[in-house]
Structure 1
Amino acid sequence: MNRIIIYSIIIAIAGYGCGGCNNNKTSSNTDIFKSIVEESDALDSMEYETSETTETLQILQNISSSPVEMAALLQATGVPFNENYITSIDDVDRYNTDFKRALNLGIFGADLGYLNMYRKTGPVMTNMRAIRKLSEELRVQQFFDFNTIRRLATNNENLDSLMYLSVSSFNNMDVHLQKTGRSEVSALIICGMWVEGMFIATQVIKNARQNTEVIERIGEQKTIVENLVDILSHYKKNPQYAQLHKHFSRILDSFDGVTKTIVQGEGKEVEIDGILVYIQNETSYVNVPEKTLDNIIKSIDEVRQEIINI
């Protein structure tokens, strides 16, 4: 279930970004995502049909950030790669508690997706060293086939396999953490991933205000921030989580001014499994005022700095 939802997010964002794009590479990447979804559907239908899901887990499943989701949109809209957007691994040894490790494993996971999408072999290898160290210290290294990832990273023709292995590693790890009573660690990883993906997007927008597709996608993250704030509130008895909750509340405040308009279109009847179903066609528009966008960019940058310098 978790992977199905995450991959659905990838498809939605990649497809959204490709609306006016005829780039063959982008089409290829979208095809990769579709093949990942098909394989994940079969796996998850076997593994989780009878599992019980808590309300918090349901929320996590709906908002889990994929390491490639924002990178897919950026590449689809023609944004060039910029190595300055990713986090240096120089300070990885300072992450000496599970709280610090989990947050920054999420950070590096988002960077891995960004690097994979743009086929940056050298930086991928560097990034994987940090991921390996943190995952070993968090006792989740069994979900990463580092040798295979390293081999695939040196062969750009295997981008589909590399992305599948990278994304599925994080998703399988998330399921394990949820099922073994370490949901707070899972929440931290997701928070780190989301912040880094948003940081990359907001840095792009600082100098590309004409990219309305990315701006709209940023505005749509308001609901996700609300859910993350709610999830973190469950762990506020821990001072570190309480502080992180304040950081994400500050991010949520920066979204004040974002509005969403839904325009109802003409519905239609379609046949699904032999039954006629009426489907309402609607289009949503997200408006992000200039000042609000500036506030979002600022808050994301500040919270990210707090996390990587923790």
Structure 2
Amino acid sequence: MKHLKLITLSVVTLAVTLTACKNTITENTNDEQDTTAQNAVNSEARKVFYSLPSPMELSSLLQKSGSKFDKQNLHDLKAVDHYNTNDSRALNLGVYGADLSYTSVFDQTQETMQYLKAAQKLSDALGISSAFNKNVVERIQTNMNNKDSLMNIISDSYLETDAFLNENERQNISALIISGGWIEGLYLSSKMAFVAPKNDVLLGRIAEQKLSLDNLLGLLGAYQQHESIKDLTVQLNELKAIFATIELASVETTVSVDPKTKTTTLGSDAKTNTLNEEQLKNIAAKVAEIRTSITK
């Protein structure tokens, strides 16, 4: 479900850090605690990022599954003006970012520009206009027929967004952006899994999001003082309960030794992960419910 990285594409490497404590009396102790906490949160951010498929893998996945573009699966562009809080803007910047990547993968030029404008509007409202400034828009227009370059430009824009937010101690906004993107990616993937001619690979990637969800919840755990993140965590834990019914295949490591060259080779015998129709329906229903709650 590289649709998920479309997300992460849209939300990429969240190097989330915690604000340093400034108590001068216990400065050394607090510094150590802050460093430990910061490393823990950064670790969760990296886990979320690396557990998501890459743009190239997304393209390959879509080709293998026989998926076709369906505009009806995208978030309503007219809703972009309805978000009047930073939390709702951040969540939906992630959603629109995922849709932006989705349209790019399917070479939908007109829709790509429309979702770019939506992402630009929300980033402006969040005070991070540099993410989709005039230069970025011009680069996207110039590379509209170069899918690889286009995906890289979009990724770079979100990386810049993340860097800005972290520098300005707005890590909770970054966490919401990546959450919105992850949710939309899972939503799109589950929708396609019902109709894709060859959906085995899609089903496998959806099943593997069981691990990504654990990492995402770990990331959000650092910001439970924010009501919107606390509420979202409750919903994601309900989704986690559904994923708990999925048993992921174990990966067996194999070691082979070439008797002639005396070289040792490590390999793996990975069984394909999948989920049954009922599990897919339950996941799709819950993620659609969560999506509705954050996009309404």
TM-score with structure 1 length normalisation? 0.74
Aligned residues: 260
For structure 1, which segment, 208-217 or 198-207, has the greater mean C-alpha deviation from structure 2 after superposition? Answer: 208-217
Q: Structure 1 residues 109, 212: CA separation in 2 closer, same or farther (over 3 Å shift)?
A: same
Larger radius of gyration: 2
Q: Percent identity?
A: 28
Q: Structure 1 residues 301, 233: CA separation in 2 closer, same or farther (over 3 Å shift)?
A: same
Residue 233 of structure 2 aligns to a residue whose secondary structure is helix
> What is the distance in 2 between the residues matched to 1:172 and 1:117?
21
Residue 286 of structure 1 aligns to a residue whose secondary structure is coil
- Give the corresponding residue for 2:212: 224
- Give the corresponding residue for 2:279: 292
Residue 146 of structure 2 aligns to a residue whose secondary structure is helix
Shift of 1:140: 1.5
Shift of 1:269: 6.2
Q: Give structure 2 stretches of 5+ with no counterpart.
A: 10-34
Shift of 1:143: 2.6
Alignment of 1:260-271 (within 5 A): 260-264=248-252, 266-268=254-256
Matched, 1:58 2:46: no
> What is the distance in 2 between the residues matched to 1:96 and 1:196?
20
- Please tell me whether the aligned partners of residues 48 and 212 of structure 2 are also in contact (alpha carbons under 8 angstroms): yes
Residue among 180, 183, 202 paired with 1:192: 180
Letter aligned with residue 58 of structure 1: S
Shift of 1:185: 0.8
> What is the distance in 2 between the residues matched to 1:66 and 1:94?
31
- Please tell me whether the aligned partners of residues 120 and 131 of structure 2 are also in contact (alpha carbons under 8 angstroms): no
Residue 77 of structure 2 aligns to a residue whose secondary structure is coil
Shift of 1:113: 0.7
Residue among 270, 290, 294 paired with 1:283: 270
Q: Structure 1 residues 93, 231: CA separation in 2 closer, same or farther (over 3 Å shift)?
A: same
> What is the distance in 1 between the residues matched to 2:144 and 2:229?
40
> What is the distance in 2 between the residues matched to 1:99 and 1:190?
12
- Please tell me whether the aligned partners of residues 219 and 258 of structure 1 are also in contact (alpha carbons under 8 angstroms): yes
TM-score with structure 2 length normalisation? 0.77
Letter aligned with residue 221 of structure 1: Q
> What is the distance in 2 between the residues matched to 1:150 and 1:124?
13
For structure 1, which segment, 184-193 or 162-171, has the greater mean C-alpha deviation from structure 2 after superposition? Answer: 162-171
Q: Which is bigger in relative contact order (C-alpha 8 A, separation at least 6)?
A: 2
Residue among 192, 195, 218 paired with 1:207: 195
> What is the distance in 2 between the residues matched to 1:143 and 1:282?
42
Moved over 6 A (4+): none
Residue among 177, 181, 184 paired with 2:169: 181
Letter aligned with residue 105 of structure 1: L
Letter aligned with residue 238 of structure 2: R
Shift of 1:278: 5.1
Letter aligned with residue 299 of structure 1: K
Matched, 1:253 2:241: yes
